[in-house]
């Protein structure tokens, strides 16, 4: 349970005075959350320097100045459209404050005639007279210190003003408690780091633009806190897995030999190496936790299957889980014929199995008559009981969170886990997502892959694209048309895809163009995919539900709309759907002009290389980790403050620190250990704390 000291920070922003439900929405759009902590992590992106405080006559125009004036006279023009003016002055000069759509009552209240006021804003010269249009701030002499200062500027979204968010953040900062120090004292003094609360306040009160840099001292500390929480959480979880003894699985090779013999190809050297690494892990007493990394089409599935057979040979059950129904079904259709000759019972479980079917599948899983269990998240559910699960494969791992990974692990007695990903995660990122995970890599170019001719062009050339497709279809080409991710909403994505589908139908005729998106029912999706696979459809319009993993070798053309919105790795994965068959494949990246310099650079990388690792590293360099995989789907931890492009070395330190901490205080029960528990809760690593005794 979250410690009481943090309760306030996890309250809704509506608990702050002046924040109602409407502001809560705009604040959430800007900060990504609706609690006080979300405001705290929203650090300033800029500053306005209001320290310039000249006399009126000396005021430089065009820049922000904070001026102390005497309010002289309110002037309401009889012409309704003319602005409302308030004449002010100091001992030397005159300054007119100008307001459009003014509320006279309000202005008379904040600027009473005859009083002294402090106003801050940009001074302009309007045909010889000095004026300030809509001062940003108006205050009394008492406020001068607050006004004549550096004001932080926060990232905003539509409908949210700087005033509103600043006020909310100030209010949230007022609620911040003093927390016990979780960092090592020596490290803090060496780095010049203050305590957490002081650091947070400092980060929200930048004293100049250099304080906005990712390597400004307060930001470094906050980033370090976050990375330490991440690494400590992973280390705790990892240790729990390790502590549960694994069991030595004695494979006989009897089943895998049958399957190997029936394969129409030889394993590649890296597939063989990966299998050796996996079986070494399996035969050992420790629990296996290994990542199998390989580009799309590099042949991870067969490696997984052969490893699964090893556990079955030893008398146990194996499971493989994919993040989507489509992918899981694809595994089913690949695996079933391969193991037929072995007499194994393969069962399938997804959210779609209901009633009797579901019951009988569950029964075969719990009675042990099912040898291989293939499915989706449904395998995590509480009512799924395994007879003797010894080996679990998680495909396309990055879509699953740490929690889910652990839930499946907990389902068996000492389950060995193999997680598979096509995402070429750079080492730095790997550490944040998995901690120290053993890695096997499939490095050969995927079997039978041909280079894809990648072209980048503006959407304005759509007509030209359509003409080209028409010619290709005549020669029998099959085409993926990928519609953009518009919003954080499947509904809106689906609508965009529907519109594009309509248009393409108008161009090519109904029977030839199919549509698949996340809002379709499972059976509908399957039917469309099947039609595309068999060639009943020439064009498949899709949102990114044409998942990494879908295999239609006949598809040789892919059009990706709004390619500039995708992460490079995501584009790379999408592109991996083509170039699998015999013909030359073409990938058209359509962008909406104008294309920024950065976007241009990024798309150029894709045109130049098909090396997934190179692409990922470049993307990390150009955009930073958050965007690398397309955050929406990455499942990698998203950091609030830490930024791996800048804080990679802090991550390494945090990792060492986390290890050291656990060596000395495995249950986090010392004084510092208790503070570290608060840190874990602060960064919402609650699941990790549960792995501690008396957690």
Residues near ligand ADP (CB under 6 A) are 265-268, 271, 294, 296-302, 422, 447, 549, 551
Tell me which of Mg ion, ligand ADP, none is bound by residue 432, counting a contact when its beta carbon lies within the kind-specific cut-off of 5 to 8 angstroms.
none
CB 332 → Mg ion: shortest distance, Å?
13
Residues 537-556 that bind Mg ion (CB under 5 A): 549
Which residue bears the tokens 């929203």?
42
Tell me which of ligand ADP, Mg ion, none is bound by residue 268, counting a contact when its beta carbon lies within the kind-specific cut-off of 5 to 8 angstroms.
ligand ADP
CB 297 → ligand ADP: shortest distance, Å?
4
CB 173 → ligand ADP: shortest distance, Å?
48
Longest CA span, the chain: 99
Query: From CA 110, how far away is CA 103, in angstroms rounded?
Result: 11
Tell me which of ligand ADP, Mg ion, none is bound by residue 612, counting a contact when its beta carbon lies within the kind-specific cut-off of 5 to 8 angstroms.
none
* CB closer to ligand ADP out of 271 and 556: 271
Tell me which of ligand ADP, Mg ion, none is bound by residue 298, counting a contact when its beta carbon lies within the kind-specific cut-off of 5 to 8 angstroms.
ligand ADP
CB 49 → Mg ion: shortest distance, Å?
54
Query: From CA 639, how far away is CA 227, in angstroms rounded?
Result: 8
Nearest to 302 by CA among 258, 269, 335, 341: 335
Q: How many CB atoms lie within 10 A of CB 506?
A: 10
CB 547 → Mg ion: shortest distance, Å?
9
* CB closer to ligand ADP out of 31 and 330: 330
Query: From CA 457, how far away is CA 669, in angstroms rounded?
Result: 59
Tell me which of Mg ion, ligand ADP, none is bound by residue 218, counting a contact when its beta carbon lies within the kind-specific cut-off of 5 to 8 angstroms.
none
Nearest to 423 by CA among 547, 533, 599: 547
* CB closer to Mg ion out of 549 and 637: 549
Residues 193-232 that bind Mg ion (CB under 5 A): none
Query: From CA 692, how far away is CA 236, in angstroms rounded?
Result: 7
CB 551 → ligand ADP: shortest distance, Å?
6
* CB closer to Mg ion out of 44 and 549: 549
Q: Six-digit token pair at 616?
A: 């990922």
Q: What are the DSSP calls for 479-495, one per residue?
A: EEEEPP--SS-HHHHHH
Tell me which of Mg ion, ligand ADP, none is bound by residue 206, counting a contact when its beta carbon lies within the kind-specific cut-off of 5 to 8 angstroms.
none
CB 264 → Mg ion: shortest distance, Å?
18
CB 610 → ligand ADP: shortest distance, Å?
14
Tell me which of ligand ADP, Mg ion, none is bound by residue 265, counting a contact when its beta carbon lies within the kind-specific cut-off of 5 to 8 angstroms.
ligand ADP
* CB closer to Mg ion out of 426 and 549: 549
Tell me which of ligand ADP, Mg ion, none is bound by residue 149, counting a contact when its beta carbon lies within the kind-specific cut-off of 5 to 8 angstroms.
none
Instruction: Decide if 515 contacts 541 (C-beta within 8 A).
Output: yes
Q: How many CB atoms lie within 10 A of CB 126?
A: 12
458 has which bridge partners?
591
* CB closer to Mg ion out of 496 and 546: 546
CB 319 → ligand ADP: shortest distance, Å?
17
* CB closer to ligand ADP out of 121 and 576: 576
Q: How many CB atoms lie within 10 A of CB 69?
A: 24
Provide the CA 7 distance to its chain's centre, in angstroms. 26
Tell me which of Mg ion, ligand ADP, none is bound by residue 294, counting a contact when its beta carbon lies within the kind-specific cut-off of 5 to 8 angstroms.
ligand ADP
Query: From CA 325, how far away is CA 321, in angstroms rounded?
Result: 10
CB 549 → Mg ion: shortest distance, Å?
4
Tell me which of Mg ion, ligand ADP, none is bound by residue 26, counting a contact when its beta carbon lies within the kind-specific cut-off of 5 to 8 angstroms.
none
* CB closer to ligand ADP out of 120 and 397: 397
Instruction: Decide if 643 contacts 224 (C-beta within 8 A).
Output: no
CB 652 → ligand ADP: shortest distance, Å?
30
SS (H, E, C) 69-91: EEEEEEECCCCCCCCEEEEEECC
Instruction: Decide if 64 contacts 49 (C-beta within 8 A).
Output: yes
CB 49 → ligand ADP: shortest distance, Å?
54
3-state secondary structure of 351: coil
Q: Which residue is nearest to ligand ADP (CB)?
A: 299
Nearest to 328 by CA among 349, 357, 355, 302: 349
CB 370 → Mg ion: shortest distance, Å?
22
Tell me which of ligand ADP, Mg ion, none is bound by residue 447, counting a contact when its beta carbon lies within the kind-specific cut-off of 5 to 8 angstroms.
ligand ADP
* CB closer to Mg ion out of 375 and 549: 549
* CB closer to ligand ADP out of 139 and 612: 612
539 has which bridge partners?
479, 513
Count residues binding Mg ion (CB under 5 A).
1
Local structure of residue 558 (DSSP, 8 states): E
Instruction: Decide if 121 contacts 133 (C-beta within 8 A).
Output: yes
Q: Which residue is nearest to Mg ion (CB)?
A: 549
Q: What are the DSSP calls for 24-77, one per residue?
A: HHHHHHHHS-SBHHHHHT---SEEEE------GGGPPTTSEEEEEEEEEEEE--
For residue 120, give the H/E element and its range.
strand 116-126
Instruction: Report strand pairing: 137-139 vs 116-126.
Output: antiparallel
By the rule CB under 5 A, 33 interacts with Mg ion:
no
Local structure of residue 265 (DSSP, 8 states): S
Tell me which of ligand ADP, Mg ion, none is bound by residue 297, counting a contact when its beta carbon lies within the kind-specific cut-off of 5 to 8 angstroms.
ligand ADP
3-state secondary structure of 447: coil
3-state secondary structure of 421: strand
Tell me which of Mg ion, ligand ADP, none is bound by residue 77, counting a contact when its beta carbon lies within the kind-specific cut-off of 5 to 8 angstroms.
none
* CB closer to Mg ion out of 221 and 399: 399
Residues that bind Mg ion (CB under 5 A): 549
């Amino acid at each position: 349970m979250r410690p009481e000291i943090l309760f306030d920070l996890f309250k809704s922003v509506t608990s702050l005075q002046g924040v109602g439900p409407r502001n809560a929405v705009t604040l959430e759009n800007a900060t990504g959350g609706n609690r006080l902590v979300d405001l705290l992590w929203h650090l300033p992106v800029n500053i306005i320097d209001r320290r310039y405080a000249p006399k009126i006559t000396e005021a430089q125009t065009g820049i922000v100045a904070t001026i102390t004036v005497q309010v002289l006279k309110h002037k309401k023009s009889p012409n309704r459209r003319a602005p409302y003016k308030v004449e002010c002055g100091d001992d030397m000069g005159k300054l007119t404050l100008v307001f459009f759509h003014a509320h006279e009552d309000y202005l008379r209240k904040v600027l009473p005639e005859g009083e002294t006021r402090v106003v801050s804003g940009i001074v302009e010269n309007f045909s010889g007279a000095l004026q300030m249009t809509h001062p940003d701030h108006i205050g009394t002499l008492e406020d001068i210190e607050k006004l004549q200062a550096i004001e932080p500027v926060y990232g905003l979204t539509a409908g949210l003003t700087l005033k509103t968010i600043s006020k909310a953040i100030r209010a949230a900062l007022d609620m911040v408690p003093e927390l016990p120090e979780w960092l090592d004292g020596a490290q803090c003094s060496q780095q010049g780091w203050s305590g957490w609360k002081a650091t947070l306040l400092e980060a929200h009160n930048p004293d100049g633009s250099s304080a906005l840099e990712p390597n400004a001292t307060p930001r470094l500390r906050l980033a370090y806190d976050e990375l330490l929480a991440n690494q400590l959480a992973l280390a705790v979880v990892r240790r729990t897995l390790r502590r549960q003894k694994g069991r030595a699985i004695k494979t006989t090779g009897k089943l895998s030999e049958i399957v190997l013999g029936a394969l129409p190809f030889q394993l590649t050297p890296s597939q063989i190496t990966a299998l050796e690494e996996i079986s070494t892990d399996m035969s050992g007493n420790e629990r296996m936790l290994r990542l199998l990394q390989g580009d799309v089409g590099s042949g991870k599935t067969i490696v997984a299957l052969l490893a699964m057979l090893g556990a079955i040979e030893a008398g146990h059950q194996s499971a493989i889980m994919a993040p989507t129904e489509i992918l899981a079904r694809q595994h089913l259709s690949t695996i079933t014929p391969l193991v037929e000759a072995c007499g194994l019972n393969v069962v399938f479980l997804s959210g779609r199995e209901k009633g009797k079917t579901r019951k009988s599948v569950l029964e075969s899983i719990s009675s042990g008559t099912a040898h291989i269990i293939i499915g989706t998240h449904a395998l995590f559910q509480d009512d799924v009981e395994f007879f003797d699960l010894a080996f679990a494969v998680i495909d396309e791992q990055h879509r699953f969170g740490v929690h889910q990974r652990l839930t499946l692990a907990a389902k068996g007695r000492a389950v060995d886990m193999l997680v598979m990903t096509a995402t070429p995660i750079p080492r730095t990122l790997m550490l944040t997502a998995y901690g120290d995970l053993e890695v096997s890599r499939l490095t050969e170019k995927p079997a039978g892959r041909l280079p894809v001719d990648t072209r980048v062009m503006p959407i304005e050339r759509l007509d030209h694209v359509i003409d080209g497709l028409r010619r290709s279809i005549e020669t029998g080409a099959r085409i993926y048309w990928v519609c953009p991710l518009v919003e954080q909403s499947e509904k809106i994505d689906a609508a965009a895809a529907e519109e594009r589908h309509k248009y393409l139908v108008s161009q090519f005729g109904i029977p030839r163009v199919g549509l698949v998106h996340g809002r379709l029912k499972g059976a509908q999706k399957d039917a469309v995919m099947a039609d595309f696979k068999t060639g009943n459809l020439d064009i498949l319009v899709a949102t990114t539900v044409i998942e990494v993993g879908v295999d239609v070798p006949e598809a040789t053309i892919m059009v990706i709309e709004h390619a500039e919105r995708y992460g490079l790795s995501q584009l790379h994965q999408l592109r991996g759907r083509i170039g699998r068959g015999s013909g030359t494949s073409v990938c058209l990246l359509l962008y909406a002009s104008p294309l920024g310099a950065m976007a241009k650079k990024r798309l150029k990388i894709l045109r130049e290389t098909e090396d997934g690792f190179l692409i990922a590293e470049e993307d990390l360099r150009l955009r930073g980790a958050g965007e690398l995989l397309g955050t929406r789907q990455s499942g990698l931890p998203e950091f609030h403050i830490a930024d791996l492009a800048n804080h990679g070395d802090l991550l390494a330190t945090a990792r060492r620190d986390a290890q050291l901490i656990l060596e000395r205080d495995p249950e986090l029960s010392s004084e510092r250990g208790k503070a570290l528990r608060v840190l874990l809760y602060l960064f919402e690593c609650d699941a990790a704390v549960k792995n501690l005794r008396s957690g």
